[in-house]
A and B are shown apart, each in its own frame.
Chain A
Amino acid sequence: MSFYTQSLKTEIHDPRINVKNTRAEFRLQDEDAVYLSNLRLANIGITASPDEWNAAAGSLAVVDSIILYDDGTELCAMRDFDLYSAWKNYNKENAANKSINNFLVKNAMGYEVRSTNTSTTSENIEPLFTPPAYTLSEDTTAQGWLDLKSCMPFLASVAYLPQQVFKNLRLVVNYKAAIGTAQNTNPPILITDQMVDSSQKQKLVSAFKGVSYVSVLHDSFVVDAVSGLTTVAQTKTQEVSKMLKGYDNKMLNKLLVIFTPQTTDRETDHLGKLGSQMYLNQKVNLRVNGRNLLVGDGYDTPAKTLAGLTETYGTHNTYMNRIALVGSASLVLGAQPGAMLGQQSYVGFLVREYVEQMELQISRDGEYDDGKADQKQVRNNASFVVNCFGECPTTLEVQPDGTYLIAYTA
């Protein structure tokens, strides 16, 4: 049966405000309207000196945050959206990335084996497509499409948005200003589906009593560089334990941890800051309410880390799980997968507890690099930002007077 019937109308909205490289704002202000929650953004992209989009985030790398307001009330928000969307694209099956997602977000994930029939590179892992490029022309630049349900759990949980309850919906898209050289963001469009059958609309409005959903909350801290590495082949263990205050007094379902590199070479390397760096002999554990969540050192091997992430968030699209191969990586890895190796080591915890106090414990080994003068700029030794995205259950409850309350679920 077709999803679209005569009782639905698809509309395209231009942004009411569009400030290049800063923000675009859409307003939905039809007082009788009932919108389905499947809001889509299209034409996300920039014109700039030609270059490739980030291989993980694609054109979504230009979006800094997306926030849905009702008047001044924030219904849901995704901050550090570029970072989160790079992971969201990773959080897909290989087949989905190859056949659908590549085309929608203009990234380059989804891998296959290519044989070149030579003795040195007989079977290489390659992405199906190279990352599409942005250009100086709006006609040729690669632009993305985004289903907002995929990054805003509120929209994924609510079936429809009645404007009798949400009277002044505003969708604000904030941009990163310096993704490309001489960059200008293109005006995006918002695509909505609206109910047009008035009896059906009335039924939906009177049935709408609220919704339970998860809010994705962000917290972060910095881990300093490993110091004191002075001699060849020296290694040194660094142990860090830091409190995460952003989830105190909230129920926390899951926690995603991203290690964002801060060295200058990593910032411009393949995934830039939009991956999650794997460190040498990395160990990560979470201490919740005075109890270690995992036994011993927690995620103390790459395989355990990946298995834990998979159990927490489902399948991810990866081809190898290590910092570097012994011997020549070019024997089996194409240029892009070779460059991305060790840059998608995300950590996931299944918590399901009411948090009164929480700390993240991280341990890694720094290693002397005799090719670098400044050891604090070496990949394994450099400082990094720990970005955490936690899922906290939230409820929106419609009151008898038509107003509503939003609260974290205890």
Chain B
Amino acid sequence: MAAPYLFHEIQPENSKSQYTEFNNLDFVMTFEGRKLLCNSVKLQADLRITKGGSNITDSEDIKMDASIGAHGVVESINTSFQNVGRVENLNSYPRYVGMVADTTTTKEDMCNSENICEMRAMTDKILKVQLRGFTTDASGSTTNNPNSFSIKPLFVLNSAVGKEDPNNVELSFKKSGVIRVSFTLARVFNLLFGNDVDSTCSYTLTNVRLAFTSVPEDNVANTLIHKTKYHIKQSILSSRSNVAAQVPAVCNAVSTSFVRQSEENAAIYNSYQRQHFPLLDQLQYLFNNNTNARIQYTIKNKQDALQRYISSFRDVKHSQVNLVNLSANKAYGLGLFWNQYVNLANQTFNISLNSADSTISSDPFSIHAYFHSVVEV
């Protein structure tokens, strides 16, 4: 009799002893004669951070974003099914994780096990202390083990819902064929930030595995709906900007966040910051360059704009979008939930921003927009 649950672990196709920035991790998932249990895919590895070839010390200010944790090592995820083709190409992945954390969790939630095993923490400083590795409490111990992590990437295979039965998230191998998942590792200056981050800093991943669970093929046909994301990045070069996007998908929401371009991909600064877009006077969401039925007015109220950002993910009445974080230039974003799926392949979607801040032209922003779509398999 086939085992009811099989817990798979696979190594990258391009197997190496260790991986670092810009490397690709290509995983080939085969589960012939079985069904993949979606929402069970985990990327597991050991993470070592060094400066000048040595482990970092108490006095060095080298941090990771605590809301993102080890998700920060992955810059992009590309997923394709042998029988379907490419189903998702998700760029600027850590920022998306940070935005989800901002809108659906609180700091206290970072003391829950599903976040701790992903190397998330309540604050950046708490995570900073952990980055030195871990040891034992034996007197004279020289042990310094790397931090291990087990992340559940927020990508197409981990966002499935059954169409007939929402809890049936089994994906038959007959339907998908071999699944290829490629992770591109983030640059050091994106993963790490802090006053002591410089070109001598690096990180390595060892014992890298992709883990997933499968169940026996029962020859019962089912349909899965996977949430997918489309990422678009544009520059905001002046205080009056229009961001136009055409997305080859049917979408029901867009979520955006901002970061100063001078602080992106640069040492010292957190590239994944969700910064405040300063002095926003007016915000308009337009389809085909016209205001339409989805939102008929110009948003001038900050609370309205933020509430729509939270709703663009899912309003769980539980977020880090609060006065403390906003005043610290964190956890800010804009977004819109359309209440229905809209085909954006044939029309342009525009975000019109008016700001009273005159520094934008000299110190421009990047806007990262994630369009929420679905794919049926």
Contacts and interface: CB of A to CB of B under 8 A. Distances in A.
Contacts of B123: 113, 123
B145 interface: yes
Interface in A284-315: 291, 293-296, 301-304, 306-307, 309-311, 315
A133 to B, nearest CB: 24
Given A304-B44, A331-B129, A332-B129, A326 B144 contact: yes
Interface stretch (A146-154, A165-173, A365-373): A365-373
A98 B112 CA distance: 12
A353 B4 contact: yes
Contacts of A52: none
A362 interface: no
> Which residue, A233, A320, A372, has most C-beta atoms of chain B within 10 A?
A320
B12 to A, nearest CB: 15
B125 A332 contact: yes
A51 to B, nearest CB: 24
B138 interface: yes
A174 B137 CA distance: 36
Contacts of A225: none
Interface stretch (B24-32, B73-81, B103-111, B308-316): B103-111
Contacts of B46: 301
Contacts of B122: 111-113, 123, 125, 319
A306 B112 contact: no
Interface in A71-122: 93-95, 98, 111-113, 122
Interface string A382-401: 00000000000000000000
A322 interface: yes
B125 A123 contact: yes
B219 interface: no
A234 to B, nearest CB: 11
B112 A317 contact: yes
B15 interface: no
Interface string B141-164: 111110111101000000000000
Nearest to A97: B111
Contacts of A311: 40
Contact of A291 (B3, B8, B55, B140): B3
Contacts of B134: 302, 322-326
A321 interface: yes
Nearest to A235: B143
A390 B141 CA distance: 36
A227 to B, nearest CB: 16
> Which residue, B46, B107, B141, has most C-beta atoms of chain A within 10 A?
B141
B57 interface: yes
Contacts of A304: 44, 117, 148, 150, 211
Contacts of A93: 109, 112
A327 B138 contact: no
B139 A323 contact: no
Given A307-B42, A332-B125, A325 B135 contact: yes
Nearest to B114: A310
A342 to B, nearest CB: 8
B89 interface: no
Given A307-B42, A328-B58, A380-B138, A301 B207 contact: yes
B140 A327 contact: no
A56 interface: no
B278 interface: no
Contacts of B243: none
A316 interface: yes
A327 B129 contact: yes
Contact of B140 (A125, A301, A317, A370): A370
B143 to A, nearest CB: 7
A293 B4 CA distance: 11
B341 interface: no
A280 interface: yes
A296 B108 CA distance: 35
A318 B116 contact: yes
Contacts of B5: 350-352
A379 interface: yes
A372 B118 CA distance: 35
Contacts of A123: 122-123, 125-126
B136 interface: yes
A367 B139 contact: no
A380 B136 contact: yes
Interface in B1-36: 3-5, 7-9
A101 B136 CA distance: 31
A301 B205 CA distance: 14
B262 interface: no
Interface in A322-356: 322-328, 331-332, 342, 350-353
A261 to B, nearest CB: 13
Given A295-B7, A332-B126, A369-B139, A315 B113 contact: yes
A328 B211 CA distance: 34
A122 B125 contact: yes
Contacts of B147: 303
B133 interface: yes
Given A303-B150, A307-B150, A352-B4, A320 B116 contact: yes
A405 interface: no
A87 B140 CA distance: 32
B95 interface: no
A281 interface: yes
A113 B145 CA distance: 26
A294 B5 CA distance: 10
B229 interface: no
Interface in B296-339: none
Contact of B117 (A235, A303, A324, A342): A303
A371 B140 CA distance: 8
B130 A320 contact: yes
B187 interface: no
B260 interface: no
Contacts of A326: 55, 132-135, 144
Q: Which 9 A-B pairs have the closest CB atoms?
A: A371-B139, A301-B148, A307-B150, A322-B134, A303-B148, A369-B138, A316-B113, A94-B111, A370-B140
Given A94-B109, A369-B141, 18 more contacts: A94-B111, A95-B108, A125-B111, A301-B46, A303-B147, A303-B150, A306-B117, A307-B150, A316-B112, A316-B113, A324-B134, A324-B137, A325-B134, A332-B125, A352-B5, A368-B140, A369-B139, A378-B138
Interface of A: 93-95, 98, 111-113, 122-123, 125, 232-233, 235, 280-281, 291, 293-296, 301-304, 306-307, 309-311, 315-328, 331-332, 342, 350-353, 367-372, 378-380
20 contacts: A94-B112, A113-B126, A123-B126, A125-B126, A302-B134, A303-B118, A304-B44, A306-B117, A307-B150, A310-B113, A315-B112, A315-B114, A319-B122, A321-B116, A351-B5, A353-B3, A353-B4, A367-B138, A371-B138, A380-B136
